[in-house]
Amino acid sequence: MDAVRGLRHRGGRPLNTGAALQYVMDNVFTNSTGSRLDTAKKDVVFLLDGSDGTRNGFSAMRDFVERLVDKLSVGENKDRVSVVQYSREAEVHFSLNTHRTREDVMDAVRGLRHRGGRPLNTGAALQYVMDNVFTNSTGSRRLQGVPQILILLAGGRSFDNVETPASALKQRGIFVFAIGSRTSDSRELQRLSFEPSYALSVSDFSGLDTVQEQISSLMSTAVVRSRPLTTTETVGRQTPARDVVFLLDATDATRSDFPAMQDFVQRVVEMLLVDEKKDRVSVVQYSRDPAVQFYLNTYMTKDEILNAVRNLRHKGGRSLNTGAALQYLRENVFTASSGSRRLEGVPQVLILLISGRSADSVDAPASALKQMGILTFAVGSRGSDSRELQRISHRPTSAFSVAEFTDLSSVPQQLLASLEALPIDVTPETPTDSGTSIMQPFRCHSRTPFTPFQQICLQSHLCQCTMRTSL
């Protein structure tokens, strides 16, 4: 109060309200001046064009990164920073969990050297960052609800397609800011960005200081807009649990592709919240006969599962009996004794990777899995039967195809995103009569189809209704 009483009129003209608002945001609403608004954590990744075309502008790019980092509150439980350089391929200079102080990050940035190379594969770099940088193992806290920010500096038009990886980043809630020079494609920058207004341009990279304040402002806006996964979703779903089973074609035909299949499983597992009371994972290989690598109740930590997946050995075998494998899963994996929580209303997910047509019939076991409420996603390579994949999947649009398993990273992002959009489980109440069980917030009759909800009848008098997924 004494300080307020002592205020004296400042005077001056003109009245620059915009500049004043910007000044308050940059210099008052900050940690260093006592504000608690900016305590929101951020994971910030810089993706720098290191191709031959940016050799002269690289020092300016490095200075720009250094100035932005200087504005951050770097710390293990605060802001984290990563830098990736790319041309034909991407190279991580340091991950989000490499440095824990601003000084360490600044020293690492000052030590960056231009990579060089051609062509400029921005699409591949975006995919690489999504698969290898915005992950739990490299320090990303996306699954904890921490805002994820990617700042791209590109000096030219991409040699490859950017739309698919850019869309996938948006679907994961990653805020992409793209800054280009005069040789960049402005429309491409807008397609890359989280929204068109997040795309900025400078005549050349020596002018990056002119957009620094704008980027800082947009980053603050993104943090405010970001909605943590751990608030309303966690409250609404006290246990965001899923049981996820991978069924891998291990016939002789997939021997050379098996490492790519392992990598795919690892990428999906990275997205999960593995815990005894949250997500559980099982892996089964099959050819003539299935072989369980581990059950849903074998491992209860993500590290254990990832280690087990890395150590998988290809099974081999000639005959591909997909029908028998599906039947085996129904009887031996999706069971309470093997860790399945189907009877508790936990969503059950099966992800099948298959390279050819089944030697036996898949219709009856696939139908039985659907009747149990198991959500099956089938991914096939060039040698598989697309119609068979559709019959196996819980609905035709949940069947995907790739030319080779080495192209698994191109599988539509909906498959992974669907794991975060599974139906919320509902616990059945005491049945009101022998044929009906009341399910909150709606009623489910055991012998009557109930759309748009999926009905799962565990017994003649006990049913569960779960909302159908959008896929």
Q: How far apart are CA 399 and CA 386, in angstroms?
A: 8
DSSP assignments along 124-153, one per residue: HHHHHHHHHTSSGGGT--GGGT--EEEEEE
C-alpha closest to that of 124 among 66, 187, 49, 60: 49
Q: Please, what's the b/e burial string for 404-443 (b: 16 or more CB within 10 A of its CB; e: otherwise)? A: ebeebbebbbbbbebbbebbebbebeebeeeebbebeeee
Q: In tens digits, what is the pLDDT along the chain, a chain of 471 residues?
A: 788 888 888 888 888 887 788 787 667 776 567 665 545 689 999 999 999 999 999 999 999 999 999 989 999 899 999 999 999 999 999 999 999 999 999 999 999 999 999 999 999 999 999 999 999 889 999 877 789 999 999 989 999 999 889 988 887 889 999 999 888 888 899 989 988 889 998 988 988 988 888 888 888 877 776 644 333 333 333 446 899 999 999 999 999 889 889 988 987 888 788 888 899 999 999 999 999 999 999 999 998 999 999 999 999 998 999 999 999 999 999 999 999 999 998 999 999 999 999 999 999 999 999 999 999 999 998 889 989 999 999 888 788 888 888 777 656 455 665 555 555 443 333 333 333 333 332 333 332 333 333 434 333 333 344 433 333
Nearest in space to 72 (alpha carbons), one of 48, 28, 105, 112: 105
Is the whole-model pTM more than 0.75? no
Rounded Cα gap, residues 454 and 348, in angstroms:
13
Query: Domain 31-225, what fold?
Result: Rossmann fold (3.40.50)
Q: For residue 187, give both structure tokens.
A: 């429309």
Gap between the Cα atoms of 130 and 413, Å rounded? 11
Residues of the chain with CATH 3.40.50.410: 31-225, 236-420
Domain 236-420: what homologous superfamily? von Willebrand factor, type A domain (3.40.50.410)
The residues, ordered by sequence, that sit 6+ positions from 425 with a Cβ below 8 Å of its Cβ are 237, 241, 344, 345, 346, 347, 464, 466
Round to whole Å and give the CA distance between 295 and 281. 7
On the question of a cis peptide bond just before residue 147, with omega within 30 degrees of 0, the verdict is no
- Per the CB < 8 A criterion, the answer to whether 212 and 151 are in contact is no
Q: What is the rounded distance in angstroms from the CA atom of residue 309 to the CA atom of residue 307?
A: 5
